[in-house]
Amino acid sequence: MPITVRPTKLDFGIAHMIARHSSSSVERVAGFLTWGADENVLCGLAIVGWLWAHRGRSSPAERLVSNHLLLTSLAAASLPHLLKRIFDQRRPDRRTVRGHLHGIPFSGRPLDAFPSGHAVHLGALASAASKLPRAPRNAVWVMGGGVALTRIVLLAHWTSDVLCGFGIGIGIERFARYLTGFGRATGA
């Protein structure tokens, strides 16, 4: 029997504000940008990166990074599906009429709000990016934050779902470091 997760008062306040002030054009842009954290897109990119790094001419450091990103991407794609079997939470887009009048689409399964799978991926990427030099690291963090906000703007997830998903992604990536050696003094 699934555990019901209830949104907070802050979650409701943010969702109501979005439902009142959204528009079809904002929702179209957010709908396009949210693809930047889709599990199929990110896993596909990780597989291509892994194949590229293992083509025979790559350095051991490049192979280490590709191994780490592939493992992290696959774990970040799998864990939310398991958690959504354990937890039930109604998506905010299922609790509004006004929002749909302003262009907010229906997203995913109605009770699969917690956690945000997109945010899990983004948290894992942001955590891995902590090993990058300052400029690219900050770029990944800003873009990741922007894409995470699209899940809230689309009312696909409550704000707390996105924040929890981001934290879960960070945890996945940090655990994967123990398995791959990523981030150690001798590694990437």
pTM greater than 0.85 (yes/no): yes
pLDDT digits (tens, 9 = 90+) for 109-166: 656 668 989 999 999 999 999 998 899 999 999 999 999 999 888 888 899 999 999 9
Q: Which two tokens stand for residue 77?
A: 């794609």
Q: What is the pLDDT of residues 27-61, one digit of tens each?
A: 788 888 888 888 999 999 999 999 999 987 888 88
Q: Which tokens sit at 145?
A: 């934050």
Give me the residues paired with residue 3 across strands.
87
**Token pair of 8 as six digits:** 């907070």
Partners of 87 in the beta sheet? 3
Tens-digit pLDDT profile for residues 54-64: 987 888 888 99
Q: Is the bond into 105 cis (omega within 30 degrees of 0)?
A: no
Q: Domains of the chain: which residue ranges?
A: 8-180
What spatial distance separates the first Cα and last Cα of the chain, rounded to whole Å?
43
**Of the spans 72-81, 83-92, 143-152, which averages the highest pLDDT?**
72-81
